[in-house]
Amino acid sequence: MHNHSHSHVHHHAHSHADPGSRRDFFRVLTRGTLAGAAMLELAYHRAAWARAAAPTANNQLFDIQKVAEGVYFAKAHAQAEINSNSAIFVNSNDVLVVDAHSKPSAAASLIAQIKKEVTSKPVRYVVNSHFHWDHTQGDHAYRAAESKIDFIASQTTKQLMSDLGQKRRKESIDAVPKQIDTLRERASKSNSQQEKAFCADQIRQLRAYQAELQNYTLELPTITFDKSYVLKDKAHDLSIEFHGRAHTAGDVVVFCPQKQVVATGDMIHGFLPFLADGFPTSWPKTIDSVGELSFGQVLPGHGPLHSNRQPMTGLRNYIEELCEKVAQGKKAGESVAELQKTITVASLKSMQSNDYAAYVARNEYESQPHFGPPASLQAEINTNIADVYQNVDRV
């Protein structure tokens, strides 16, 4: 039985390039007018530096772990173009997967892993938690692999995919030549064979992404809704719900009451938030609404599985505190640069609480090179400050 309501919501997301940079590697992407939010999201995860390509590495792109009966979490390995994690729900006759990564080949890789490691049942539904390219560009692989497939998203996400999907894809492809130049330069300056090999593999991945995404089929959601869409199955219920604006205008979560788990896309994850397409004033309230659901574990869009609510609370409190400080400063006529000097890791209570700063830093370091120190958390916060400054009045 399907319970769902349809309504049409139209919202244009705006993206703002960040003049600063999270890492030297990405300065070329974020300087001046380029970028836009997709590039910043790429920069934010710094996936290009996550892991040296060891010759012994297997070719699997995900680590799949069982979370509860019929519920699995696919944590994405680092790639030169970031892939989202996926949540996998095994129903009595079929499977629902949350999010589809940055490219069809990654989704095809996960489909193969699901069949090998989880179940032979077909994937019948893919939920797009939000419109960003690293969660949606793999959709077509499911259309190609499965005889019957539906893509589920909020009506707002469908509209944003339709309005911005091709533009964001083009931005990600257009950035590749500069990324390759930077990698070549880095390799030429290094005496480490390991680092040279790492750079060569990143270049190989970037070229493959470029080639694959040239001929790209945008799959728009086939099932959309305003507030919620429920799939009732003998195994469990899956409730796909919009709780308010957060990381984007259309974020949804997938809640399974019987298994006490929720898949959250990028509304709740283990890194600092990405705010260029976000609604920083509404976001904490949206998390509070999700928090009223009965769950113990969170399956996030990036980073590790959350076995309790502490990371969710840390993220919520950080966004709220940052928003208050930036709004106050903006009202008083302070510039972004001035606020970036005064709002620091040490000055934020939310960063100190429950070692949230250390938690975030550890997760973000996992997606960093073996060839250098961790990026500064303050640089991340500075980017958040600039984005909140821009978006603080969005509701």
Digit-coded pLDDT (tens) for 155-166: 999 999 999 999
Under the phi-then-psi rule, with left for phi > 0, alpha for psi from -120 to 50, and beta for the rest, what region is 260? Answer: left
225, two tokens: 């809704």
Whether 196 has a pLDDT exceeding 50, the answer reads yes
Residue 168 lies in a domain: yes
Whether 136 has a pLDDT exceeding 70, the answer reads yes
Percent of the chain exceeding pLDDT 70 equals 83
Contact predicate 114/95, CB 8 Å? yes
pLDDT at 373: 55
CA 323 vs. chain centroid, Å, equals 21
Residue 323 lies in a domain: no
pLDDT at 259: 98
Whether 38 has a pLDDT exceeding 80, the answer reads no
305, two tokens: 């599985």
Residues with Cβ within 8 Å of 341's Cβ and at least 6 positions away in sequence, in order, are none
Residue 109 lies in a domain: yes
Mean pLDDT of 16-42: 36
How many independent structural domains does the chain possess? Answer: 1
**Domain span including residue 100:** 2-189+213-307
Contact predicate 159/10, CB 8 Å? yes
pLDDT confidence bin for 53, thresholds 50/70/90: very low
4, two tokens: 């769902």
Mean pLDDT of 72-90: 93
Whether 141 has a pLDDT exceeding 70, the answer reads yes
Whether 27 has a pLDDT exceeding 60, the answer reads no
| CATH number where 227 lies | 3.60.15.10
Residue 183 lies in a domain: yes
Three-state secondary-structure class, residue 3: strand
pLDDT at 368: 52
Residue 342 lies in a domain: no
Whether 26 has a pLDDT exceeding 70, the answer reads no
Whether 45 has a pLDDT exceeding 60, the answer reads no
The C-alpha atoms of residue 158 and residue 161 are separated, in whole angstroms, by 5
241, two tokens: 């719900």
pLDDT digits over 327-363, tens only?
A: 999 999 999 999 999 999 999 999 999 999 998 888 8
Q: What is the mean pLDDT of the chain?
A: 86
The C-alpha atoms of residue 227 and residue 146 are separated, in whole angstroms, by 27
- Token pair 């880095």 is at which residue? 186
Q: Which amino acid is at 305?
A: L
The C-alpha atoms of residue 159 and residue 116 are separated, in whole angstroms, by 35
The C-alpha atoms of residue 358 and residue 272 are separated, in whole angstroms, by 11
Residue 381 lies in a domain: no
Mean pLDDT of 23-32: 34
The residue among 168 and 43 whose pLDDT is bigger is 168
pLDDT at 293: 98
Whole-number Cα distances in Å, 50 to 65, 134, 194, 197, 356: 20, 16, 14, 14, 21
The C-alpha atoms of residue 381 and residue 121 are separated, in whole angstroms, by 43
334, two tokens: 């302070």
pLDDT digits over 290-314, tens only?
A: 999 999 999 999 989 999 999 999 9
Three-state secondary-structure class, residue 216: coil
The C-alpha atoms of residue 283 and residue 391 are separated, in whole angstroms, by 12
Whether 365 has a pLDDT exceeding 80, the answer reads no
The C-alpha atoms of residue 105 and residue 140 are separated, in whole angstroms, by 9
Residue 392 lies in a domain: no
The C-alpha atoms of residue 241 and residue 287 are separated, in whole angstroms, by 12
pLDDT digits over 86-111, tens only?
A: 999 999 999 999 999 999 999 999 99
Whether 185 has a pLDDT exceeding 70, the answer reads yes
Whether 59 has a pLDDT exceeding 90, the answer reads no
pLDDT at 3: 47
pLDDT confidence bin for 56, thresholds 50/70/90: very low
The C-alpha atoms of residue 395 and residue 130 are separated, in whole angstroms, by 17
pLDDT digits over 221-276, tens only?
A: 999 999 999 999 999 999 999 999 999 999 999 999 999 999 999 999 998 999 99
361, two tokens: 């830093």
| H/E element, 349 | helix 349-352
Whether 55 has a pLDDT exceeding 70, the answer reads no
pLDDT confidence bin for 58, thresholds 50/70/90: low
| H/E element, 336 | helix 336-342
Residue 346 lies in a domain: no
pLDDT at 362: 83
